[in-house]
Amino acid sequence: MSTNHNSSDESGVSRRGFLKGIGVGTATGVLSDSSLHEAKAAEPGVKGPGETAIILRINGENKQLNVEPRVTLLDALRNRLDLTGPKKVCDRGTCGACTVLLDGDPIYACSVLAIEVQGRDITTVEGLGSPDQMNAVQKAFVERDAQQCGFCTPGFVTACSAFVRDNPNASVDDVCNGLGGNLCRCGTYAGMVLAASDAAKEKGGA
Amino acid sequence: MANVAWPKEGDRKIIGSRIPRQDGAVKVTGAAKYSYDVNRPDMLWGKLVTSPKAHAELVAVDTSIASALPGVKAVWVDEELLGEELRYVGQVVACVAAESEEVAIEAAEKVKLQLKVLEHQVVDNDPSLSTGRPSNREEGNLDEGFAGADVVVEGQYGIPVITHCCLEPHGQVTEMKDGELHVWPSTQNVSRYSNQFGDEIEIPQNKIHVDTQYMGGGFGSKFNIDKWGIIGAKLSIETGRPVKIMLDRREELMIAGNRPSGFAKIKVGLQQDGLISAVDAEVWGSGGQGAFRAPPIPYVFTKVPNTRLVGKGIRTHRGSVRAWRAPNHPQGCLLTMSAVDDAAAALGMDSLEFFMRNAALTDRPEVYREELQIAANIIGYRQKAHARGDSGPGPVKRGLGVAIHTWGGRGHPSECDVTINSDGSVEAKIGSQDLGTGTRTCIAMVVAETLGLPYEAITVHLGRNSYPASGASGGSTTIGGISVSARRAATDALNDLLRTVAGRLGTTDEKLEASGGHVHRIDQAGGGVSWKEACSMLGPNSITKRGINNPGESQQEGLISAGVGGVQIADVSVDVETGVVTMNEMVAVQDCGLIINMKLAESQVYGSLIMGITYALYEESIYDKKTGIMLNPDMEFYRLAGIKDVGQLKVHMMTGKGFDERGIIGLGEPPVIAPGAAISNAVANACGVRVPNLPLTPERVIAALQKGGDIA
């Protein structure tokens, strides 16, 4: 596996550096005390190769978990916290199926380490809306049938929610540029362009 | 009394409408749990160990280091492969099960394979590499056909191996519980999954529970349980713990789906009036370790009087062929349509005119002519058309290309239970699957239409093998199968209800019907009793009826049929300095009989156009001759079209008289057949030369231009 990831000054680790690390087991838990996200796990310095206790702020909730430093944010979300909205497809920052918002900006969760994003606000597709309370982008995706198998859809919805928030008067060209970081295999782009345009008009989004 | 025949146009309340898909909300919010998303308590992660060589003898497997890693719970090795040949990179040899995905990956890398490397062969475009006897089919008299031709043109064309690249990879979660096996596979074959375990595990069929609620793409590659399915079950039995095995992207692109290549030398004879008089084709290609069948040439023009088709399979040390949407048709279409379009250009005949005339040589001339007319009008063909080679100034040349296709699509055998409960609720249960085509939604629509209820009133349960068996989703057979079994079940259940209600309303069931949420006399719409009230008369006894689709019978009754046609026209720009092809616009005109949901039907066609643009311009599984490995098993270098790459798409569905009364016909495959050919023809029309092989990459376009203006 190669990596697009650069070493982070904050954590002092890179994904590549830990591919050879070892360790077992994980533990997860939910913390209600928001002050905990400033806790000791964010200390600078070299971590690992064993597990480190970290706290991630996801969809407004602090979650404590133990991860090896080599674990990506995507794997932490999916495998440790059962937040399976973000999907694992290319696992190297190409397809966008794993897109989440980091302090409001779309990023590829497969390409950052979980330990790097402590103290940041992480929003997954689950945090954007629920089946009973969809955001404007989600509603538009349903209405315009901008999905088939739906495996790329959470990533697109997340990217699109940030896009329409920042580009309320987006043209079709703007939409195509704005969603250029995600890929679909079933071929649902025609519906997506319409959905994104509808949502942009409504100034909806994240 | 309700009748199973489809309601006539004007009587349809729900069928044919544009209802958003039923599972849209759970998909856009991440709530839908795909097989990959199933996390079970105490679950282990399985990671496959695969052959790094294209061809080698497996001498020994050393698992000692891997087994000793903390967190590793089991290592399974395929003992039967010891001393045998491994025949492609990625062939599964062993599997590690560990407490976390990271440990499983690390341990799998530490399983040592001792190999004796053998010579490999991964080249699939050289006919001299073919072994075995060529297939040969001849009709009419070729010599006479060419002697009677006014123009004879020869060319060579090709379409490479591409891979399915399902976004959800192949794989499954397995779990043993109280002696029974639970499997959550990513499959397009729910009802016929568990029987594929065969003798590999000693668990009776009725104790294997298959559950696929959401799956992330199959396109023909997910019919089989596959080796990883059997390994998962064995590891769950051995460890007593759930095991998740999903292929990684590299494995997915190498071993989980290859569409066979097709290369051909084709000689076409045309009469002065443009009619094709003879086609002589020699075709070769490879299905990897799987079989190669010659694609149909001449494709669609099946009434060409004089033809010969010679097929030569090439065995390669590459992953095996799997069905890819409309098996062999995209190849047959690209090869045929390129050759005949080159012949038309040599004759100096406009492409649209050429296809119009040769529609006479198809099985459905009138339909193709009408579709060609409509497609030409939508794209403005006559205003934009020019002879081959855009003579305008500047390096960007523009062109139009036409192609036509056909497919069967008759509904498969299917069974469905519909239950009407005394509280008025209605459920349908079926062992089918929703690949994203809208199966759930269409079942609900058919049942709602039958019972005169709103669509939201129907709860559909699918994706489990405990439900009535329904066919695999392949060959565009699902919509016909599930619509008829659901229709029959709902009709029978309703007639039971009408019998119960008739007594209470002091009439006979022949005089009753259900519509608008009421059960009423046929001559008194809006009267009678509400649906809920009618159902309450059932007391404690629900009605459950099973509907069965027997394809032959249903076709005779006019509920389903087969055989559709479609026309596509592409409008492209080609930069003759850089070789870059840009999609401007593409039109698809398609018939598929009676349409259940217009919105979802159009989505299938839009999706097909995009998938077709992708394989026309970008997709190719590239293998290195020297090392035998795939060079692009990732999504950077195995490119899919992005949202900016597809241009403007327009879809026109043929409906109404002449189409609706054919009953239901499948749609998932036909519109994905022609895009490669239409785009290739458009590029030839734009830049004046044929770019013979897909994908139409800049380097291929430049190479074709440098060879000069001669065809092929």
Q: Answer yes or no: is pLDDT of A5 > 90.
A: no
Structural domain count, chain A: 2
| Bond prior to B305 in cis (omega within 30° of 0) | no
Q: Does A160 share its domain with A184?
A: yes
Nearest to A94 among B21, B599, B635 (CB): B635
pLDDT number for residue B135: 97
> Is residue B99 a contact partner of residue B52, using CB atoms and an 8 Å limit?
no
Q: Does A116 share its domain with A143?
A: no
Cα A199 from Cα A32, distance rounded (Å): 33
Tell me the pLDDT band of A24, cut-offs 50, 70 and 90: very low
Size of chain B in residues: 712
Contact B30 A94 (CB under 8 A): no
Contact B607 A87 (CB under 8 A): no
Per CB-CB distance under 8 Å, the chain B contacts of A134 are: 25, 28-29
CB pairs under 8 A between A and B: 206
Nearest to B20 among A79, A87, A145 (CB): A145
Cα B519 from Cα B512, distance rounded (Å): 7
**Separate counts of helices (H) and strands (E) for chain B:** 17, 28
Q: Note the pLDDT tens digit of each residue in B603-637.
A: 999 999 999 999 999 999 999 999 999 999 999 99
Q: Answer yes or no: is pLDDT of A16 > 80.
A: no
Q: Does A120 share its domain with A181?
A: no
Q: For chain B, what is the mean pLDDT?
A: 97
Beta bridge partners of B400: B571
Share of chain B above pLDDT 90, in %: 97
Torsion on CA atoms A125, A127, A128, A130, rounded to nearest 10: 90
The Cα angle at residue B91 between residues B88 and B92, in degrees rounded to 5: 170
- The one-letter amino acid at B273: D
Cα B645 from Cα B617, distance rounded (Å): 10
pLDDT number for residue A18: 36
> Is residue A62 a contact partner of residue A118, using CB atoms and an 8 Å limit?
no
CATH number, domain B340-407+562-706: 3.30.365.10
Q: Answer yes or no: is pLDDT of A40 > 50.
A: no
Q: Does A36 share its domain with A76?
A: yes
Domain residues for the domain of A187 are 136-202
CATH number, domain B35-119+170-246: 3.90.1170.50
Cα B222 from Cα A40, distance rounded (Å): 47
The Cα angle at residue B614 between residues B314 and B710, in degrees rounded to 5: 70
Look up tokens 């085509």; give the residue: B437
Q: Note the pLDDT tens digit of each residue in A116-149.
A: 999 999 999 999 999 999 999 999 999 999 999 9
Cα B667 from Cα B607, distance rounded (Å): 11
Contact B634 A94 (CB under 8 A): yes
Position A83 in a domain: yes
When scoring B42, B45, B167, B617 by the number of chain A Cβ atoms within 10 A, the one with the most, hence best to mutate, is: B167
Q: Where in chain B is the domain with CATH 3.90.1170.50?
A: 35-119+170-246
Alpha-carbon gap: A56 to the closest alpha carbon of chain B (Å): 19
Mean pLDDT of the region B89-111: 98
Mean pLDDT of the region B690-712: 85
- The one-letter amino acid at B75: V
Q: Does A120 share its domain with A150?
A: no
Per-residue three-class SS string for B517-562: CEEEECCCCCCCEEHHHHHHCCCCCCEEEEEEECHHHHHHCCCECC
Look up tokens 């250029």; give the residue: A180
Position A8 in a domain: no
Question: Which residues contact residue B48 at a Cβ distance below 8 angstroms, ignoring those fewer than 6 apart?
Answer: B92, B94, B95, B108, B228, B231, B245, B247, B251
- The one-letter amino acid at B384: K
Nearest to B644 among A152, A177, A184 (CB): A177
Instruction: Indicate which CATH number applies to the domain containing A51.
Output: 3.10.20.30
Q: Does A158 share its domain with A107?
A: no
Nearest residue to B51 (alpha-carbon basis) of B234, B254, B229, B249: B254
Torsion on CA atoms B241, B242, B245, B246, rounded to nearest 10: -160
CATH number, domain B410-556: 3.30.365.10
Q: Answer yes or no: is pLDDT of B177 > 70.
A: yes
Tell me the pLDDT band of B424, cut-offs 50, 70 and 90: very high
The structure tokens listed for B298 are 């001449």
Tell me the pLDDT band of A2, cut-offs 50, 70 and 90: very low
pLDDT number for residue B700: 97
Q: Does A118 share its domain with A143?
A: no
Q: H/E element holding B253?
A: helix B249-255
Position A149 in a domain: yes
pLDDT number for residue B182: 98
The structure tokens listed for B624 are 């290195």
Q: Does A59 share its domain with A114?
A: yes
Beta bridge partners of B183: B174, B210
Residue that wins the pLDDT comparison between B530 and A43: B530
Beta bridge partners of B397: B574
Cα B258 from Cα B53, distance rounded (Å): 18
User: What are the backbone angles phi and psi of residue B338, rounded to the nearest 5°?
Assistant: -65, -45
The Cα angle at residue B485 between residues B483 and B489, in degrees rounded to 5: 115
User: What are the backbone angles phi and psi of residue B555, rounded to the nearest 5°?
Assistant: -70, -40
- Decide if B606 touches A, using CB distance below 8 A: yes
Position A6 in a domain: no
Q: Note the pLDDT tens digit of each residue in B185-223.
A: 999 999 999 999 999 999 999 999 999 999 999 999 999
Tell me the pLDDT band of A43, cut-offs 50, 70 and 90: low
Q: Does A32 share its domain with A84?
A: yes
Q: Does A86 share its domain with A184?
A: no
β-bridge pairing B458-462 and B426-430: parallel
Residue spans of beta strands (DSSP E) within B553-638: 564-575, 581-591
Mean pLDDT of the region A3-15: 40
Cα B449 from Cα B7, distance rounded (Å): 9
Q: Answer yes or no: is pLDDT of A168 > 50.
A: yes
Cα B422 from Cα B543, distance rounded (Å): 9
CA torsion sign for B439, B441, B445, B448 is: positive
pLDDT number for residue A46: 77
Q: Note the pLDDT tens digit of each residue in A185-199.
A: 999 999 999 999 999
> Is residue B283 a contact partner of residue B254, using CB atoms and an 8 Å limit?
no
Share of chain B above pLDDT 70, in %: 99
Out of A126, A148, A175, a domain closes at A126
Instruction: Indicate which CATH number applies to the domain containing A180.
Output: 1.10.150.120
Distance of CA B56 to the CA centre of its chain: 33
Concatenated DSSP letters for A132-189?
TB--HHHHHHHHTT--SS-SSHHHHHHHHHHHHHH-TT--HHHHHHHTTT---SS--H
Q: Where in chain B is the domain with CATH 3.30.365.10?
A: 340-407+562-706, 410-556
Look up tokens 């529609």; give the residue: B359
Per CB-CB distance under 8 Å, the chain A contacts of B98 are: 24
Tell me the pLDDT band of B52, cut-offs 50, 70 and 90: very high
Distances A195 to A190, B216, B605, B611 between C-alpha atoms, Å: 9, 21, 18, 20
Cα B276 from Cα B292, distance rounded (Å): 27
Per CB-CB distance under 8 Å, the chain A contacts of B253 are: none
The Cα angle at residue B349 between residues B348 and B350, in degrees rounded to 5: 125
Tell me the pLDDT band of A44, cut-offs 50, 70 and 90: low
Beta bridge partners of A31: A62
The structure tokens listed for A7 are 């070493």
Q: Does A109 share its domain with A143?
A: no
pLDDT number for residue B710: 39
CA torsion sign for B346, B347, B349, B351 is: negative
The structure tokens listed for B471 are 């066919």
Residue that wins the pLDDT comparison between A9 and B374: B374
The structure tokens listed for B200 are 């590999």
Out of A106, A126, A146, a domain closes at A126
- Decide if B220 touches A, using CB distance below 8 A: no
Nearest chain A residue to B39, by CA: A82
Nearest to A187 among B31, B600, B609 (CB): B609
Q: Note the pLDDT tens digit of each residue in B108-139.
A: 999 999 999 999 999 999 999 999 899 999 99
Nearest to A188 among B69, B607, B642 (CB): B607
Contact A151 B102 (CB under 8 A): no
pLDDT number for residue A49: 86
Integer-rounded Cα Rg, in Å, for chain A is 17
